Structure 1
Amino acid sequence: MLTNALRGLAAAALLTLPFTAPAAADTPRVIAPLPLAAAVDLLPSAVESRDGYQRSSFKHWIDADRDGCTTRAEVLIAESRTEPAIEARCKVTAGTWFSYYDGVTLTAPGGLDIDHMVPLAEAWDSGASAWTAERREAYANDLDAERSLVAVTARTNRSKADQDPADWLPPLADARCTYATDWVATKLRWQLAVDEREHGALAELAEGCGQEMVDYEPAP
C-alpha cells in the first residue's frame, strides 16, 4: 500500500500528464521520475482480451527513417557495447551485446532476438486492439524510448513469449527490478492497461525494488 507521500507523488504525476491544452499535445514531456510502487498504481486497470489478435496487426522491423536499416538493425547498432560490424544493406554481423535478462554476453547477432518489452499480444490485450494500424506500427517499432525494445538472447525471449510479469520474469534475479521498471515505463508510455494478476505481481515486485525510479515520455 502506498504511503501518503507516495500518493502525493502519484497525484502530482497525474497532473503533469499531457492531457491539457491542445496546443501542448504535440510537445512530448518526460514525466518526472516516480518510485516504482507509485508508478504501478498509475497504470490503468482493465480486463484483458485477446479476441481478434494477429501478430500481423503490428507491422514491425520497418525502416521508418529510410536510412537502409530496419528497426532490428537499429537496436543492434544502438545496444552494441563495441563498434558493430555492418555490411552492405545495414547487415549487422558482429558486435558485443549484453542480454540483461540472463546476464549473457554475445558477439554474434544471430543469437539475439529484439524483444518488445511489452509483447505485441500483451499490448493487444491491454488496449492496442482499439488503436489504428499506424499506431500499432509505431508501437512495434518504437525507437524513441530505450525501454521499448531490447536485444536479448533468443532463448530468453522465446521463453518469455507473450507472458506478463505474473507468469514470467527474467531468469537472472538481479535483473527483475530493472525489468519491472522497464515494463511499467512502457505501459505508461503507451497508456496500456494491466489486469488484476499483473498489477498484483508488479506491486509485489515493487516492494523489493525500493531504489527503482520510473520515468517515461508519453507516446505521441
Structure 2
Amino acid sequence: MTVSLWDWRAESRLATNKVSSKIFAVAFAFSAHYFVTVGVRHVRFWYFDAPKPPSRGTVPIQSRNAILGEMRNATFVGVHPLPDGGGLLALSNSGQLCHFSERRHVERFVELRTSRAFCLHGAAGRVFVGCARGCVRAFDEQTLRFLFSLPMPHTLGSELGDSTDQPGGRTESPTPSLTAEETVDYPDAVAVAVDTARKRLVVVYADHSLYAWDIAEPTRAKRIVAQHYHNG
C-alpha cells in the first residue's frame, strides 16, 4: 500500500511513502504536524512541517512506528486524535481501546468486553465504539472511563416495523421470531458518527440498517430514526 499527502486545493501530491501493512484508518493530530495510520500490526506516526510542493516529483514522508509492546500482533481498525498534545486513541478489533502518547508508547488501555470491535468516533470529550452484537459504548476520551451504552437495535430475524419514530417515542426493539432453541442476536455496529450540534449519534449496523439516536440525555438515549431500506 501507499500513503500519500496531498494539497487538495492545488490538486498536487506533496509526499508519499510505501507501507507493507494493510491500513484501516487514518487521522490527523490537532496540531496538524503529523498524522497516524492504523491497521494490521500497524500504528505509525507520519511527520511533516507544512511542506511545499516539490519542483520535481514527490518526497518521502518521514515516519516512526508506535511501540506496541504486548499489542504487537493486534489489528487496529480505528484512530481518534486527542487535543492539547494528548496523543491518540486506537481501537483493536479484538476489543481494546488504547491510549498512545505522542512519544508513541501505549500509556494504558481498557478492555471493551466484546468479541469484536469495528469502529470508533470521538467528539466533545467522548469516544463512541461500535462492537459486535449491536453494542455501542461511550467512554471519556481522557480517562477512558466507561460512560454509557446505547439501547440495542432490532434483533436479527425481527419483523421490522416503521422506519421513523415519533420524537420521545419508545426505543424498544421489534419482537423477534425465534424458536425455543434459538437465542436473541443483534447486528454488529460497524460505523458510528456524532453530530455534536444536535446531540445525535448515527450508527450503521452490519445488516445495512441505520439508526439515529438522541443522546442529549446520555443515560436515556432515544431512537429518533431507524431505516431498514437496505436491510435483508
Establish whether TM, by shorter chain, passes 0.5: no
Q: Which has the higher contact order (CA 8 A, sep 6+)?
A: 1
User: Which structure dedicates a bigger proportion of its chain to helix?
Assistant: 1
Q: What is the TM-score normalised by the length of structure 1?
A: 0.25
In terms of fraction of residues, the more strand-rich structure is 2
